[in-house]
Structure 1
Amino acid sequence: MTTVEQLQLDNIAKNDYQIYPLLKQRYSPRIFSDQKLTEKDVNRLFESVRWSASSYNRQPWRFIFAHKGTEGYDKIMECLSEFNQKWAGNAPFLMLAGYKKNTEEGTENFHALHDLGLSLGNMTVQAEYMGIGLHHMAGVDWKKAHEIFNVPEGYHIATAIAAGFYGGNLNDIPEDLREQERAERTRIPQTDFAFEGAWK
């Protein structure tokens, strides 16, 4: 059985060019240590969000979070896709991430989703620095989340995040997911997405 420590080493990205070490070692775990996130841990994560860049400094991001063993946690679990429910209960901490759709002037904030993404990038690097893994999930029923959490008009839940300190046991997830955890990480080459001078 692959140990968690070996899994973390195996998941360090094999870069074509040298990048910041925290970016190399970041991956999206489905197993986590039993260690709980403290209030200070949570505050540090959201402070990294607070200082993220945003268009016109509008800071449109909004979060709902909960610790395992609470009613809020169970409610977030209800909003996840069936696939994500198979493993997300291993995380000691869950979040829903959303954004404010309009500006203060009432016009559409076209960049709000972009800004939410930037804030989650900040949080991801901060979490990695703290030994915390984040698994961002597209598989969330935003309509159910809006209903369960009474999300106000003008806001949109976009994604969910499972968070916890690296660790845990691979046997805590089904066999098909264990294989995914062990699989080699791959990325498309830069030439497929970065074009100099003209779109190719």
Structure 2
Amino acid sequence: MILTTEEDQIRLGNIADNDYEIYALLKQRYSPRIFKEEKIDSEQIKQLFEAARWSASSFNRQPWRFVYAEKGSKEYDKMVDCLSEFNQSWAVNAPMLMLAIYKENTDDGKENFHALHDLGLCLGNMTVQAQYMDIALHHMAGVDWKKAQKSFNVPKGYHVSSAIALGYYGGDIEDLSDDLQENETTKRTRIPQKDFVFKGKWKD
């Protein structure tokens, strides 16, 4: 297969240059700021949440919750309004936006220390499933969670953690500012394993 389109070249350039061989979907995953305008198929949306549903969680408490909105709806515009100004500049390219939320306490009222960890595992499941379906997820920390809680009637005891932009890989890079176009094509990097993996004891 000959890759000729700009979209193909961007995706090829974003394949991880890993030090050790890993699962192909993990190598291919990246967080774009452009997406095809195509609406995500309703059945595929259910598949994404099914992948989340079957994630591991401490004591099987499943503390994750989600609110999503599709482009063209009032709810989508409200969700955009909760994002940081930087994220607003590109997230409007996504056909779907989502809030990731976790339940703060266990059913007996104790703090669930592992709830945020479990939400992360759940989103990892969803991300790999999405990659399998050629759907990109861009996770965003830049969200006004207090505003989002109020705007989407999130009840007390639940906490908005992050926002996510979703869409099929593709789109026109010209929809981005010059700075973001450069970010989209800059070589991806990660810190080496020696800086975060320690055998036996912690090493500086």
Number of the residue aligned with 2:125: 122
**1:117-156 correspondence runs (5 A):** 117-156=120-159
State percent identity of aligned pairs. Answer: 66
Which of 26, 29, 38 matches 1:26?
29
Deviations 1:21-64 (A, max 9, x none): 00000000000011111110100000000000000000000000
For the residues of structure 1 that align with 2:41 and 2:123, how far apart are their CA atoms?
Answer: 19
Number of the residue aligned with 1:57: 60
1:185 aligns with 2:195: no
Number of the residue aligned with 2:107: 104
Unaligned runs of 5+ in 2: none
Number of the residue aligned with 2:9: 6
For the residues of structure 1 that align with 2:168 and 2:45, how far apart are their CA atoms?
Answer: 12
SS in 1 for 2:92: helix
Instruction: Tell me which amino acid in the other structure corresponds to 1:135.
Output: H
Say how many residue pairs are matched. Answer: 199
Instruction: Tell me which amino acid in the other structure corresponds to 1:53.
Output: A
Number of the residue aligned with 2:201: 198
Deviations 1:93-137 (A, max 9, x none): 100001000000100000000000000000000000000010000
**1:41-80 correspondence runs (5 A):** 41-80=44-83
For the residues of structure 2 that align with 1:79 and 1:137, how far apart are their CA atoms?
Answer: 11
What TM-score do you get using the length of structure 2 for normalisation? 0.97
Deviations 1:43-97 (A, max 9, x none): 0000000000000000000000011000111111011000000000000010000
Displaced runs of 4 or more, over 6 A: none
Which of 94, 111, 116 matches 1:113?
116
Q: Displacement, 1:150?
A: 1.4
Unaligned runs of 5+ in 1: none
For the residues of structure 1 that align with 2:76 and 2:22, how far apart are their CA atoms?
Answer: 35
**1:146-185 correspondence runs (5 A):** 146-185=149-188
SS in 1 for 2:113: coil
